[in-house]
Amino acid sequence: MHRRKICVVITARPSYARIRTAMEAIREHPKLELQVITAASAILERFGFPDRVIEAEGFSIDYKLHTMLEGGNLVTAAKSTGLGIIELTSAFQALAPDAVVTIADRFETLSTAVAAAYMNIPLVHIQGGEITGNIDNKVRHAITKLADLHLVASEPARRRVIAMGEEPATVHVTGCPSIDLAARILRDPEIKVDLFAAYKGVGPTFDWHQPYLVVLQHPVTTEPEAAGFQAEETLHAVHQSGIPTFWFWPNIDAGSDATSHAIRAFRERYRPQNIHFFKNLPPDDFLRLVYHSLAIVGNSSVGIRECAFLGVPAVNIGKRQQNRDRAPNVIDIDHDRRQILAAIETVKRQPRPQPSHLYGDGRAGERIADLLATEPLHYEK
């Protein structure tokens, strides 16, 4: 029996978290064969070599493709996407998958979508139909129009994909696989390693059994020139709060150089004694760290999605997550150090929010694998 070859393309650290349980389910499914390609920032040291994390968790990677131009600006985002198409085309030619899976909405994921669509390989899109506040919207919806099978996280997402003209029979609500990881964390919530010994990073160490914050703040691609300022506001607020904080390095993106620069300059100048900087953590320990935290601060979708399920407060700054569907755990504020500090003080005082199943119930991975094994795979609409 021919097992369907399913090629998952991972181009960034956070995308792995959003597909990992589906990859496990594909690998173990009797009718499926898993292929894995890593590219773009998923193989770079600056992001903690996510490819090595993937391999350490037992996946074998078929191709590691360097496609990311250095520069962290709009020009390099566009060119990296073009180079990604070229490289992925050759990789798909060699792997001859029955379907290609692309995840969410980062700029370089459009490379995956274009290469597969143009080669008449059925394209599966995970996490279409959502709404955010920048170029990601354009990218996500463009991928929807190139995709043949839509495995979405939520009912509102399903309605939006169909409203864009996609055939309802090709749109399925699976929940988001990142919630599966969060569900596992609930069953095994203890951090078993010494975080500082295991994951290094720079900055002071402290006792993480005391209340602490987690910060994850990405530059907003439509406001690259503001990235430095935005990072500074959060740095000042977190510094001033005095609460021990784990700060995670930003994604590669237009503006990320400015963010990195602002962080370095702040550290040089203020030598903040309550902030430890990590490049990356394995997804499980990252989620455990978030789960036990006082709050997640920044503009990551983790605050909106995983933290909804986990019932962790999210101090959500600025417009990056604008328009996303929200559970009650989210506090929205501007890039303003006083607002940020006030929000941190609020979550300290209030009870933890109720968990929500808005983005999934913890079984997305197996649902995705089952659909990939049974749905018709075609490339004509």
Q: Who contacts 101 (Cβ-Cβ below 8 Å, separation ≥6)?
A: 6, 7, 8, 9, 19, 22, 124, 126, 372
CA-based torsion, 297, 299, 304, 310: positive or negative: negative
Q: Which is nearer to a copy of itself, 119 or 371 (CB)?
A: 119
What is the residue type of 71?
Answer: G
Nearer to a copy of itself, 135 or 290 (CB): 135
CB of 155 to a copy of itself, least distance (A): 17
Smallest separation, CB 265 to a copy of itself (Å): 8
Using CB under 8 A, list all residues that contact a copy of itself. Answer: 43-46, 63-79, 81-87, 89-91, 93-94, 107, 110-111, 114-115, 117-120, 134-135, 137-139, 141-146, 160, 163-165, 202, 222, 252, 257, 261, 264, 268, 379-381
Nearest approach, Cβ of residue 192 and a copy of itself (Å): 25
CB of 378 to a copy of itself, least distance (A): 10
- In the complex, least distance from residue 278 CB atom to a copy of itself, rounded to whole angstroms: 13
Residue number, 322 or 356, with CB nearest to a copy of itself: 322
CB of 37 to a copy of itself, least distance (A): 11
Q: Which residues of 98-113 are buried (b: 16+ CB within 10 A; e: fewer)?
A: bbbbbbbbbbbbbbbb
d(CA 209, CA 304): 24
Q: In the complex with a copy of itself, which residue's Cβ is closer, 47 or 291? A: 47
Q: What is the rounded CA–CA span in Å between residue 315 and residue 329?
A: 9
Do 46 and 264 touch, CB atoms closer than 8 A?
A: no
Contacts of 69 (CB under 8 A, 6+ apart): 76, 79, 80, 83
**Closer residue to a copy of itself (CB): 110 or 176:** 110
In the complex with a copy of itself, which residue's Cβ is closer, 21 or 245?
A: 245
The pair of structure tokens assigned to 238 is 């977190």
Nearer to a copy of itself, 6 or 110 (CB): 110
Least distance from C-beta 153 to a copy of itself, angstroms? 18
Give the integer Cα–Cα distance in Å for 374 and 62.
Answer: 24
Structural contact between residues 216 and 259, judged by C-beta atoms closer than 8 angstroms = no
